[in-house]
Amino acid sequence: MRNKMNKEQWLNQTVMFDEWGRPPSLADVPLSYGSRAKMFELREYGNDDIKMKYKQYLKEYKGNKKCR
């Protein structure tokens, strides 16, 4: 079972994204690995957007924890 990450850990988690910060898809664009913070920077997300995404992560984490 994975542990809940605090916001700093969540932002520093390594994720895969394309050159515009989008998640991998079937489009033929180069992909790279970087922190979630870098991905949000490429998408030009503000603090409010990031807070909303972190709250969504917490909600999903709680939902997945109940299913086990």
Q: What is the mean pLDDT of the chain?
A: 91
- pTM (two decimals): 0.82
pLDDT by residue (tens digit) across 39-56? 999 999 999 999 999 999
| N-terminal to C-terminal alpha carbon distance within the chain | 9
The closest alpha carbon to 36, from 9, 68, 62, 61, belongs to 9
- How sure is the predictor about 1, in pLDDT bands with cuts at 50, 70 and 90? very low
Could you tell me the two tokens for 32?
Answer: 């790279």
Q: Which residue has the higher pLDDT, 52 or 27?
A: 52
**Got the DSSP string for 17-37?**
EETTSPPP-SS---EEEEEHH
Q: What is the mean pLDDT of residues 28-48?
A: 96
